[in-house]
A and B are shown apart, each in its own frame.
Chain A
Amino acid sequence: MEYVVEMLNIRKEFGNFVANDNITLQLQKGEIHALLGENGAGKSTLMNVLFGLYQPEGGEIRVRGKKVDITNPNVANDLGIGMVHQHFMLVENFSVTENIILGSEPTKLGVTNKKDAADKVQALSEQYGLNVDPYAIIEDISVGMQQRVEILKTLYRGAEILIFDEPTASLTPQEIIELVQIMKRLIAEGKSIILITHKLKEIMDVSDRVTVIRKGQGIGTVVTAETNPNELASLMVGRQVEFKTEKVPASPKDEVLDIRDLVVLDYRGVAKVKNLNLNVRKGEIVGIAGIDGNGQSELIEAITGLRKVKSGTIFINEKDVTGLKPRKVTEAGVGHIPQDRHKHGLVLDFPIGHNIALQTYYTKPISKNGVIDYDKINEKAKQIIADFDVRTQGPHELARSLSGGNQQKAIIGREVDRDPDLLIAALPTRGLDVGAIEFIHSRLIEQRDNGKAVLLISFELDEVMNVSDRIAVIHDGEIVDIVTPETTTEQQLGLLMAGHKLDDNEKGKLKEGEDQHVE
Chain B
Amino acid sequence: MSNRATNILVPLVSVILGLLVGAIIMLVSGYNPVTGYTALWNGIFGDLYTIGETLRQITPYLLAGLAVAFAFRSGLFNIGVEGQLIVGWFAAAYVGVAVELPKIIHLPLAILAAAAAGALWGFVPGLLKAKFRVHEVIVTIMMNYIALHVTNALIKTVSDGGDRTEKIFTSASLRSEFFQNLTEFSRLHYGILLALIMVGVMWLILEKTTLGYELKAVGFNQNASEYAGMNVNKNIILAMVISGAFAGLAGAMEALGTFEYVSSKGGFTGIGFDGIAVALLGMNTPLGVVFGATLFGSLKYGALNMPNEAGIPLEIVEIVIAVIIFFVASGYIIRLLLLRAANKKKEAK
List the B residue with the shortest CB-CB distance to A373. B208
Contacts of B209 in A (CB 8 A): 370-372
List the A residue with the shortest CB-CB distance to B227. A344
Given contacts A347-B217, A350-B216, A350-B217, contact A326 B224 (CB under 8 A): no
How distant is the Cα of A345 from the Cα of B225 in the complex, in angstroms?
Answer: 9
**B210 & A367 in contact (Cβ 8 Å cutoff):** yes
Contacts of A343 in B (CB 8 A): 221, 223-224
Given contacts A348-B221, A350-B217, A350-B220, contact A358 B228 (CB under 8 A): yes
List the B residue with the shortest CB-CB distance to A367. B210
Contacts of B210 in A (CB 8 A): 361-362, 367, 370-372
- Interface residue B211 (Cβ < 8 Å from any Cβ of A): yes
Mark interface residues in B112-138 (1 if CB within 8 Å of A CB, else 0): 000000000000000000000000000
**A344 & B224 in contact (Cβ 8 Å cutoff):** yes
How distant is the Cα of A343 from the Cα of B213 in the complex, in angstroms?
Answer: 18
- Interface residue B331 (Cβ < 8 Å from any Cβ of A): no
List the B residue with the shortest CB-CB distance to A328. B229
- Interface residue B248 (Cβ < 8 Å from any Cβ of A): no
Partner of B217, one of A326, A327, A344, A358: A358
Q: Which one of B212, B220, B231 has the greatest number of beta carbons of chain A within 10 Å?
A: B220
- Interface residue B226 (Cβ < 8 Å from any Cβ of A): yes
Given contacts A344-B223, A346-B224, A348-B220, contact A354 B229 (CB under 8 A): no
A residues 337-355 in Cβ contact with B at 8 Å: 338, 343-350, 354
A residues 91-137 in Cβ contact with B at 8 Å: none
**A370 & B211 in contact (Cβ 8 Å cutoff):** yes
List the B residue with the shortest CB-CB distance to A305. B229
**A354 & B213 in contact (Cβ 8 Å cutoff):** yes
**A330 & B217 in contact (Cβ 8 Å cutoff):** no
List the B residue with the shortest CB-CB distance to A354. B213
- Interface residue A306 (Cβ < 8 Å from any Cβ of B): yes
List the A residue with the shortest CB-CB distance to B207. A374
Contacts of A344 in B (CB 8 A): 223-224, 226-227
Contacts of A327 in B (CB 8 A): 228-230
Contacts of A370 in B (CB 8 A): 209-211
List the B residue with the shortest CB-CB distance to A361. B213
- Interface residue A277 (Cβ < 8 Å from any Cβ of B): no
- Interface residue A313 (Cβ < 8 Å from any Cβ of B): no
Contacts of B216 in A (CB 8 A): 350
Q: State the total of A-B contacts with C-beta under 8 angstroms.
A: 62
Given contacts A325-B229, A362-B210, contact A345 B220 (CB under 8 A): no
**A349 & B220 in contact (Cβ 8 Å cutoff):** yes
Contacts of B225 in A (CB 8 A): 347
Mark interface residues in B155-180 (1 if CB within 8 Å of A CB, else 0): 00000000000000000000000000
How distant is the Cα of A326 from the Cα of B220 in the complex, in angstroms?
Answer: 19
How distant is the Cα of A503 from the Cα of B230 in the complex, in angstroms?
Answer: 47
How distant is the Cα of A441 from the Cα of B268 in the complex, in angstroms?
Answer: 62
List the A residue with the shortest CB-CB distance to B217. A347
**B221 & A347 in contact (Cβ 8 Å cutoff):** yes
**A372 & B213 in contact (Cβ 8 Å cutoff):** yes
Given contacts A362-B210, A371-B209, A372-B209, contact A345 B227 (CB under 8 A): yes
- Interface residue A359 (Cβ < 8 Å from any Cβ of B): yes
**B227 & A306 in contact (Cβ 8 Å cutoff):** yes
- Interface residue A336 (Cβ < 8 Å from any Cβ of B): yes
Distance of A464 from chain B, by nearest CB (Å): 24
**B212 & A347 in contact (Cβ 8 Å cutoff):** no
How distant is the Cα of A343 from the Cα of B226 in the complex, in angstroms?
Answer: 10
Distance of B216 from chain A, by nearest CB (Å): 7
B residues 194-241 in Cβ contact with A at 8 Å: 207-213, 216-217, 220-221, 223-231
Contacts of A367 in B (CB 8 A): 210
List the A residue with the shortest CB-CB distance to B212. A372
Contacts of B223 in A (CB 8 A): 343-344
List the A residue with the shortest CB-CB distance to B205. A370
A residues 207-230 in Cβ contact with B at 8 Å: none
Partner of B226, one of A306, A359, A372: A306
List the B residue with the shortest CB-CB distance to A327. B229
Distance of A363 from chain B, by nearest CB (Å): 10
**B227 & A336 in contact (Cβ 8 Å cutoff):** yes
Contacts of B207 in A (CB 8 A): 374
Contacts of B228 in A (CB 8 A): 326-327, 358-359
**A372 & B208 in contact (Cβ 8 Å cutoff):** yes
Given contacts A348-B220, A372-B208, contact A326 B227 (CB under 8 A): yes
How distant is the Cα of A354 from the Cα of B229 in the complex, in angstroms?
Answer: 15
Contacts of B220 in A (CB 8 A): 347-350
Contacts of B231 in A (CB 8 A): 325
Contacts of A328 in B (CB 8 A): 229
Distance of A23 from chain B, by nearest CB (Å): 25
How distant is the Cα of A327 from the Cα of B213 in the complex, in angstroms?
Answer: 16
Contacts of B208 in A (CB 8 A): 371-372
Q: Which one of A345, A347, A354 has the greatest number of beta carbons of chain B within 10 Å?
A: A347
How distant is the Cα of A163 from the Cα of B212 in the complex, in angstroms?
Answer: 44
Contacts of B217 in A (CB 8 A): 347, 350, 354, 358
List the A residue with the shortest CB-CB distance to B216. A350
**B211 & A326 in contact (Cβ 8 Å cutoff):** no
How distant is the Cα of A48 from the Cα of B156 in the complex, in angstroms?
Answer: 67
Contacts of A371 in B (CB 8 A): 208-210
How distant is the Cα of A346 from the Cα of B223 in the complex, in angstroms?
Answer: 9
Distance of A301 from chain B, by nearest CB (Å): 10
Contacts of B230 in A (CB 8 A): 327
How distant is the Cα of A329 from the Cα of B86 in the complex, in angstroms?
Answer: 44
Distance of B159 from chain A, by nearest CB (Å): 43
Contacts of B221 in A (CB 8 A): 343, 346-349
How distant is the Cα of A306 from the Cα of B229 in the complex, in angstroms?
Answer: 9
Contacts of B212 in A (CB 8 A): 372
How distant is the Cα of A242 from the Cα of B220 in the complex, in angstroms?
Answer: 39
**A338 & B213 in contact (Cβ 8 Å cutoff):** no
How distant is the Cα of A359 from the Cα of B226 in the complex, in angstroms?
Answer: 11
Contacts of A359 in B (CB 8 A): 228-229
How distant is the Cα of A371 from the Cα of B205 in the complex, in angstroms?
Answer: 9
Distance of A400 from chain B, by nearest CB (Å): 10
Contacts of A362 in B (CB 8 A): 210
A sample of 9 more A-B contacts (CB under 8 A), given A326-B228, A327-B230, A358-B228, is A326-B227, A327-B228, A328-B229, A343-B223, A343-B224, A346-B221, A347-B225, A354-B213, A359-B228
Chain A residues within CB distance 8 Å of chain B: 304, 306, 325-328, 330, 336, 338, 343-350, 354, 358-359, 361-362, 367, 370-372, 374
Chain B residues within CB distance 8 Å of chain A: 207-213, 216-217, 220-221, 223-231
A-B contacts, 7 of them at CB < 8 A, read A326-B227, A326-B228, A336-B227, A359-B228, A362-B210, A372-B208, A372-B212
Top 8 A-B pairs, shortest CB-CB distance: A327-B229, A344-B227, A358-B228, A326-B229, A349-B220, A347-B221, A347-B220, A367-B210
